[in-house]
Structure 1
Amino acid sequence: MDDTDRQLISLLRDNARISVVELARKLRVARATVQNRMGRLEREGIIVGYTVRLRPDSEQHGIRAMMSIAIDGYHGEAVLRLLRGHPAVVALHTTNGRWDLMAELRADTLESFDALLNSIRAIEGIANTETSILLSTHKL
């Protein structure tokens, strides 16, 4: 990837629906160049899809949180597999340092959020967790 590819990806991250003509104008390259680069980035698996971003307050789930998770020993793959299948876990990130994983959680009510926390903490291989409720979002 070169600087033009990185600029192209940046523009697409900002607005994945931007037209190829507009991308070419902003990058100061030919439309065919943009199409060829996008095709190559898709074939190489660098761009794996295009998505929609919603305002956080537009979603039904009223409670959003980040859970830091420490995993015992060699249970990482099993824990990841269980969390990937959990409908209230919307994103998982491996990390370095004290915590092994960060999980983004969503729930409709405090009662369902409490049950969610308890169900995750009961997963074999999870040693410790710390959860922070997200109050507001300033940048997506």
Structure 2
Amino acid sequence: MDDIDQALIAQLRQNARATVAELAHRLKVSRGTVTNRIRKLEDQQLIVGYTVRLRPEAEPERIRAWMAVLVDGNQTRAVIASLLGEPGVAALHDTNGRWDLLAELSAGSMTELSQVLERIRLIKGIQSTETSIHLASYR
């Protein structure tokens, strides 16, 4: 995946219903480029589906968690690309301090969360992770 693929995935994560024309305009590429890249990402099964996002309070049974990620060496871009393609990652943040990235995870059950964690831990370039389950929000 190159920078355009990563930007395309990021746009689709924001709004999977965006038209090809809208995506092309935002990415400053042709509609044919967007169509071809989406088809390629689907054929490679990097994009495995499209979904609807709801506000967290609309899905009180969903399990949310935060995963701090330590990247091995200079593999941050590759790790970010892999995490952006992971359906269990609801949001991804670059940070400073002990951890390189902070991923907000979302799962329908503890079993599903376990599967998300397992897939993430297998991503090449991740040195270590630490996950905390979200229990409550106060503001």
Q: Normalising to structure 2: TM-score of the pair? A: 0.58
* Map 1:1-140 → 2, pairs under 5 A: 54=55, 56-59=56-59, 62-139=62-139
Give the CA RMSD over aligned residues. 1.8
Instruction: Provide the C-alpha distance between the structure 2 equivalents of 1:126 and 1:95, rounded to a whole number of angstroms.
Output: 15
Shift of 1:60: 6.7
Identity of aligned residues (%): 46
- Which residue does the alignment assign to 1:26? none
Instruction: Provide the C-alpha distance between the structure 2 equivalents of 1:87 and 1:61, rounded to a whole number of angstroms.
Output: 18
- Figure out how many residues of one structure are paired with residues of the other and give that number: 87
Instruction: Provide the C-alpha distance between the structure 2 equivalents of 1:84 and 1:60, rounded to a whole number of angstroms.
Output: 24
Instruction: Provide the C-alpha distance between the structure 1 equivalents of 2:54 and 2:59, rounded to a whole number of angstroms.
Output: 11
Structure 1 contact 67–132 (Cα < 8 Å) conserved: yes
Give 5+ residue unaligned stretches, structure 1: 1-51
Q: Which amino acid aligns with 1:59?
A: E
Which structure: larger Rg?
A: 1
Displacement over 2 Å in runs of 4+: none
Q: Which amino acid aligns with 2:89?
A: V
Q: Normalising to structure 1: TM-score of the pair? A: 0.58
